[in-house]
Chains A and B, each alone.
Chain A
Amino acid sequence: MRFGIVRFPGSNCDQDCFKSVTEGLGEEAFYLWHRQTGLEGADVVLLPGGFAYGDYLRAGAIARFSPIMKAVEAFARRGGPVLGICNGFQILCEAGLLPGALARNAGLRFLSHDVHLRVECTDTPFTNAYREGQVLRMPLSHGEGRYVADEATLDRLEEEGRVVFRYVDEEGRATDRANPNGSLRSIAGVTNGGRNVVGLMPHPDRAYHEILGSADGLGVFRSALEAAAGAAS
């Protein structure tokens, strides 16, 4: 299984994604430069964290015009699995592949610490290796991670079970205190209507091995494998 990792000028978690796939999962990963127009046969596309285009204007606003995004959009519309982590999530929202937007953290500070996440749905290619309600620990690292959408959109996401991850405390409760950035309804990750595109602000790629403090994030990548195996059988 081949994971294509898109590199924008300013991406800085591309290697974290690469190692998650190659060392954590034992699968093949390769980089795709943002000027490319094709995905070189990738089975899964990863948009890594970082500061594409220096976050100019808004995080993700310029990156979505990179030539490769046309191919990513076409791939996503065909049902191809696409995962956006942190800045990658911001890019997917700006590109309209995921609903909502990521605004400045409520506390205005750049946050960099571990959080607990609750897996809200397991029927996506990036969460099927988890149990529903499972609590994961992984780091986040962002200044603009406050998930925002209008009430109607939020209600629709809830009804359709498209909230993928929520910020919770260690016991799995979505309290205000456990919500690091003021995200509406404690949303940390969402999926699209086709359930093949997922974005989240925390970093599973920085939690793929115990040596990093947590291996809870590896399941995100492993899920893609299981989704492919399921599709093939």
Chain B
Amino acid sequence: MPREGILDPEGQTIGRALGELGYEEVGSVRAGRVIRLTLEADDEREALERTAGMCEELLANPVIEDYEIDVREVGG
């Protein structure tokens, strides 16, 4: 997700389009991306730590992007 204070022209354009569709209640729109990955980990904490490392090193560019991590257990 573009960091606060970083101009997000894509989000702005989506926001304008929503307004034109009649969704006038829409305030700010920020457009980012979702990356879904599976990994093996002993527990949620480990999964979170490993994923945070991936975000810092590759998945996000901390100069311009923030990230949030959502960990869910899947079968296996």
**Which A residues lie at the B interface, using CB under 8 A?**
57-58, 61, 65, 93-94, 100-101, 103-108, 146, 148-150, 182
Q: Which of B3-11, B18-26, B41-49 contacts A (4 or more CB under 8 A)?
A: B3-11
Residue of B nearest to A60 (CB): B61
Say whether A149 contacts B58, CB under 8 Å.
Answer: no
* Partner pick for A108 among B10, B58, B59, CB 8 A cutoff: B10
* B10 and A100 contacting across the interface, CB-CB below 8 Å: no
Task: Take A57-B59, A61-B58, A100-B63 as given contacts and tell me if A106 and B7 are in contact as well, using a CB distance cutoff of 8 Å.
Answer: yes
- Whether A94 and B7, one on each chain, are in contact in the complex, defined by CB atoms closer than 8 angstroms, is no
B58→A57 contact, CB < 8 A: yes
Instruction: Name A65's closest neighbour in chain B (CB-CB).
Output: B58
List residues of B whose CB falls within 8 A of some A CB.
2, 6-7, 9-10, 13, 58-59, 61, 63-64
CA distance A180 to B30 in the complex (A): 22
Say whether A108 contacts B63, CB under 8 Å: no
The majority secondary structure among interface residues of chain B is mixed
Number of A-B contacts (CB under 8 A): 34
Q: Which of B2, B9, B59 contacts A107 (CB 8 A)?
A: B9
Rounded to whole Å, the gap between the CB of A145 and the closest CB of chain B is 13
CB-CB under 8 A from A93, the residues of chain B are 63
User: Which of B9, B61, B63 lies in contact with A104, CB distance below 8 A?
Assistant: B9
| Chain B residues within an 8 Å CB radius of A58 | 61
**Hey, which chain B residues are within 8 Å of A108, CB to CB?**
9-10, 13
A150: chain B residues within 8 A (beta carbon) = 63
* Chain B nearest CB, measured from A176 CB (Å): 13
Residues of B contacting A106 in the complex (Cβ-Cβ under 8 angstroms) = 7, 9
Compute how far the CA of A108 lies from the CA of B9 in the bound complex, rounded to whole angstroms.
7
In the bound assembly, the distance between CA atoms of A181 and B59 in angstroms comes to: 24
- Collect the chain B residues with CB atoms within 8 Å of residue A61's CB: 58, 61
The answer to whether B63 and A149 have CB atoms under 8 Å apart is yes
- 16 A-B pairs (CB sep. < 8 Å): A57-B59, A58-B61, A61-B58, A61-B61, A94-B61, A101-B61, A103-B7, A103-B64, A106-B7, A107-B9, A108-B10, A108-B13, A148-B63, A148-B64, A149-B63, A150-B63
Of the candidates A65, A104, A149, A182, which one forms a contact with B10 in the assembled complex, judged by CB atoms under 8 Å apart?
Answer: A104
